[in-house]
Amino acid sequence: MRQAEIALFIAKRMLSALPLLLGVVVVNFLLIQLAPGDPITVLVGDNPVSEEYLNQIRAEFGLDKPVWEQLWIYVVQILHGNLGTSYSRHQPVTELLLDRAGNTLKLTLTAILLATVVGGLLGVLAARFRGRPIDAGTQTVTLLGFSVPEFWLGQILILLFAVNLQWLPSGGAYSIRTGDAGFFATLNYLILPAVALSFRYVALISRMTRASLLEVSNADFVTAARARGLSDGGILRRHTLKNAAPPVITVIGYNFGFILGGSVMIETVFSWPGIGRLLYESIGSRDYPVLIGILLVISVTVVIANLITDIVHMLIDPRVGQKA
């Protein structure tokens, strides 16, 4: 019976994500239409191009047709994976993005992992030793995490570790000599950017972990478990951790958009060859197709991340999706 519930929930959530996705596409489309210059410029730029190329673009995107049809065509093109062509690099946008996506994911996922471990640990310690120095220390770190601009933190880390101490490289994802030689070669280059990117998340996660743990430790069902003779350790394992987890997991999932935004900044500071760096470069070169393409991809990713978080939440907590 539970399987049926789960399947139904997933179906419903996916269905309600569709309007969001549609909204994202429409916003993108609007930006193309509203951007200075006509849509041709947005899709092709003001590089001199051949007449046939212009006609090809016109045909592809139906630019001489009424707006509604254009939107439809746009949607169809997107579903086919056609996001236009970068004119400064003469490559299809989709190709560009796919090239770089891997690197961005490497960075983001590492940062999330790091933040979860560090943030979780800090949160647990702060809750356990509530009121004592480590609690205050964690709360300070949390406040700082929300106040310090991540890109500046990146710069400071570079100053400290790359310039001053010369322990770590200051940019790039791999040295010219070794090339993209796999995970461990990249590790050196990954550390500083991942740390800088994770800082804000550490703040979020540690705060939520602490709050969640404290709330659960005071919960009535913990008292009831004690009344049955359970030891503190047993309560921790069987009740506290499981009940404290859902809010933390949802916090991680629902803030994925922030981490993506942060990665844009961090990739720029560290010249990390990901989508964020591409964004920076494309802004500089006014490469509109790439910009719009990136916006679309990132928005869609966030919608999907939220969807996944909803589903994971539902799997952990049987109450989600039920009528009260």
Partner 1 sequence: MTETLLRVENLQVETRGRRRPVRLVDGVSLEVGVGEIVGLVGESGCGKSMTASSILQLFPTDSVRLAGGEISLKDAGRLDQMSSDQLRKVRGVRIGMVFQDPSTYLDPLMTIGKQVAEGLRGHLPKSQHPARVLELLKQMGLPDPQQMMKRYPHELSGGQRQRVLIAAALALEPDVLIADEPTTALDVTIQAEILTLLKSLRDRLGLGILLITHDLGVVAEMCDRVYVMYAGRVAETRDVESLFAEPRHPYTIGLLHGTLSPDTRPEDMFSIPGSVPDPRAMPAGCRFNTRCPVALDKCFADQPPLIDVTGGASACWRAEEDTIGQAWDQTAKEENNVA
Partner 2 sequence: MTDNSSDSTLALATVEREGLRPPRNRFVEAWSGLSRSKIAVASLVFIILVLLMGAFAPLLQTNDPFAGGKDALLPPLSGEHLLGTDHLGRDIWSQLVNGARVSLMVGFSVAAAATVIGIIVGALAGFYGGWIDSLLMRITEFFQTLPRLVLALIIVALFGSSVTMLIGVIAILSWPQTARVVRTGFMSLRSVAFVDAARVSGMPRTAIIFREILPNVLASVVVIASLDVGAAILTEASLSFFGLGDPNLVSWGGMLQQAQQYLAQAWWMAVFPGVAIALIVLAFNILGDGLNDALNPRLKERA
Contacts with partner 2 by CB under 8 A lie at: 19-20, 23-24, 27, 31, 34-36, 130-131, 143-144, 146-149, 151-152, 155-156, 158-159, 163, 170, 220, 257-258, 260-262, 264-265, 268-269, 279-280, 283-284, 286, 288, 291-292, 294-295, 298-299, 302-303, 306
Stretch that binds partner 1, among 74-82, 152-160, 301-309, 313-321 (CB under 8 A): 313-321
**What are φ and ψ of residue 55, in 5° steps?**
-65, -35
| CA dist., res. 171 & res. 189, Å (int) | 7
Tokens of 99: 């090239």
Give the shortest CB-215-to-partner 1 separation in angstroms.
12
User: Which letter, b or e, does each residue of 18-53 get, where b requires 16 or more Cβ atoms within 10 Å of its Cβ?
Assistant: eebbeebbeebbeebeeeeeebebbbbbeeeeeeee
Tokens of 138: 């964690």
Give the shortest CB-138-to-partner 2 separation in angstroms.
14
Tokens of 184: 């461990």
- Residue 265 touches which of partner 1, partner 2, none (CB < 5 to 8 A by kind)? partner 2
230 binding partner 1? (CB under 8 A): yes
Tokens of 59: 């045909």
220 binding partner 1? (CB under 8 A): yes
Output 132 or 237, the one with its CB closest to partner 2: 132
Write the DSSP assignment of 134-167 as a string of letters. HHHHHHHHHHHHHHS-HHHHHHHHIIIIIIIS--
Tokens of 1: 């019976």
Output 94 or 150, the one with its CB closest to partner 2: 150
Which of residues 16, 55, 175, 223 is near partner 1 by CB under 8 A?
223
- Residue 318 touches which of partner 2, partner 1, none (CB < 5 to 8 A by kind)? partner 1
8 binding partner 1? (CB under 8 A): no
Give the shortest CB-163-to-partner 2 separation in angstroms.
5
- With residue 130 as reference, give the H or E element that holds it: none
CA-to-CA dists, residue 65 to 8, 74, 209, angstroms: 40, 12, 54
Give the shortest CB-50-to-partner 2 separation in angstroms.
26
Question: Would you tell me which residues interact with partner 1 (CB under 8 A)?
Answer: 218-221, 223-231, 234, 238-239, 242-243, 316-319, 322
